């Protein structure tokens, strides 16, 4: 695709692409509804993979153009985005500074040491940890100033890498999916948060004239309407800047009902979904994003949203490391009790 009006840059190619796409026979059989397929964007490679790598390839191109010496970004303690940024920075020979928001209440010691946080440290990132609700933007600006004072050049990446530039990674993914089968899926389903993934997919589907329904499962404790608004804004910016003037208002569907008590808090549906995918397919989903998204998919299949001849594609956006921060949910004791 010609992205020239948005960026004359080529993405810095770090991800292992194309990611695999295949049918989940056992899960489809167990659920007994439509045919379910998976797109393995958890397997993008860098730093244990996930959806941020595709977006970061474009942001890194801009960072290099500005001769940046450090990548700065923000997220919660178990942020997949922070971990992938730290890995990309390491692979590109840049410093990485993470502004971490301590926002999940009652987090245990495992949550504070394992999973993404362990990997952030292995990738050599430096940290600033703030209380939940702190002003992350201001903290990022302050850290950027510090880098400048020390003679470096900071490049600040928005939360989730969800800018129009970052979303190009998912415009690419839409084209990649279209090229992997000789049919078009009826639905793409995935976890949606800061919105760049869905915005890229929506823009990509429109650009390539793919007649697919895209369903985002909201994993934030922000109303779906607000998430959808942000997605539409980013998608508009992508399409407009790429010179593709759309006459239609693109359809952005975000479903509420699966986040549970709060972002990052386990739900029964998530535990069922993660356990089911493990048992039927040998696949790992995470408790925060893909587990809740799969819980939404399962529930929507049970409620009859999809016709039995339809084909659904679940886009696995990653997050595996955070599963290790939630180990007690699948402790021997918990598993034996549920047996
Ligand atoms: C960040 C993330 C998402 C959400 O993607 P957005 O582009 O922020 O909407 C989904 N799943 C996982 C595993 C993530 O890390």
Of these residues, 28, 67, 79, 163, which one is catalytic?
Answer: 79
pLDDT score of 94: 97
Whether 84 lines ligand 1, by a CB cut-off of 6 Å, is no
Whether 319 lines ligand 1, by a CB cut-off of 6 Å, is yes
d(Cα 198, Cα 117) in Å, to the nearest integer?
26
Contacts of 326 (CB under 8 A, 6+ apart): 110, 111, 266, 287
Supply 219's token pair.
């994993």
pLDDT score of 246: 63
Measure 177 CA to ligand 1 centroid, in angstroms.
18
Kind of pairing, strands 154-156 and 213-218?
A: unpaired
d(Cα 77, Cα 129) in Å, to the nearest integer?
8
Helix (H) or strand (E) holding 181: none
Return the SS3 of 339. coil
The yes-or-no answer on residue 28 being catalytic is no
pLDDT score of 292: 98
Buried b (16+ CB within 10 A) or exposed e, 55-81: bbbbbbbbbeeeebbbbbbbbbbbbbb
Name the packing angle between helices 268-281 and 290-302 (round to 10°). Answer: 90
Backbone phi, psi, residue 236, to 5°: -60, -45
Whether 232 lines ligand 1, by a CB cut-off of 6 Å, is no
Is the link from the previous residue into 18 a cis peptide, with omega within 30 of 0? yes
pLDDT score of 1: 46
pLDDT score of 6: 57
Sites in the chain below the pLDDT cut of 50: 1-2, 5
Whether 192 lines ligand 1, by a CB cut-off of 6 Å, is yes
Measure 196 CA to ligand 1 centroid, in angstroms.
8
């Amino acid at each position: 695709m010609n992205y020239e009006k948005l960026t004359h840059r080529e993405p810095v190619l770090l991800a292992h692409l194309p990611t695999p796409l295949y049918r989940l026979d056992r899960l489809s059989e167990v659920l007994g509804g439509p045919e379910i397929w998976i797109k393995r964007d958890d397997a993008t490679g860098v730093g244990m993979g996930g959806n941020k790598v595709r977006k970061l390839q474009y942001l890194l191109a801009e960072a290099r153009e500005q001769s940046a010496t450090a990548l700065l970004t923000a997220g919660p303690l178990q942020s997949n985005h922070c971990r992938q940024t730290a890995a990309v920075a390491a692979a590109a020979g840049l410093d990485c500074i993470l502004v971490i928001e301590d926002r999940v209440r009652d987090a245990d010691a495992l949550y504070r040491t394992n999973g993404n946080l362990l990997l952030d440290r292995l990738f050599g990132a430096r940290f600033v940890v703030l209380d939940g609700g702190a002003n992350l933007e201001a903290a990022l600006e302050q850290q950027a100033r510090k880098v400048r004072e020390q003679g470096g050049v900071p490049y600040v990446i928005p939360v989730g890498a969800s800018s129009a530039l970052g979303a190009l990674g998912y415009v690419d993914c839409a084209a990649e999916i279209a090229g992997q089968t000789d049919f078009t899926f009826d639905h793409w389903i995935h976890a949606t948060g800061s919105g760049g993934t869905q915005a890229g997919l929506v823009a990509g589907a429109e650009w390539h004239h793919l007649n697919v329904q895209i369903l985002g499962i909201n994993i934030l404790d922000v109303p779906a309407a607000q998430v959808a608004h942000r997605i539409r804004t980013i998608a508009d910016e992508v399409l407009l800047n790429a010179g593709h003037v759309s006459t239609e208002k693109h359809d952005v569907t975000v479903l509420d009902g699966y986040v549970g008590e709060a972002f990052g808090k386990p739900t029964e549906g998530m535990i069922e979904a993660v356990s089911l995918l493990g048992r039927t397919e040998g696949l790992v989903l995470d408790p925060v994003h893909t587990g809740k998204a799969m819980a939404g998919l399962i529930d929507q299949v049970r409620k009859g949203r999809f016709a039995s001849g339809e084909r659904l594609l679940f886009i696995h956006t990653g997050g595996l490391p955070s599963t290790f921060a939630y180990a007690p949910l699948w402790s021997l004791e918990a598993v034996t009790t549920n047996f």
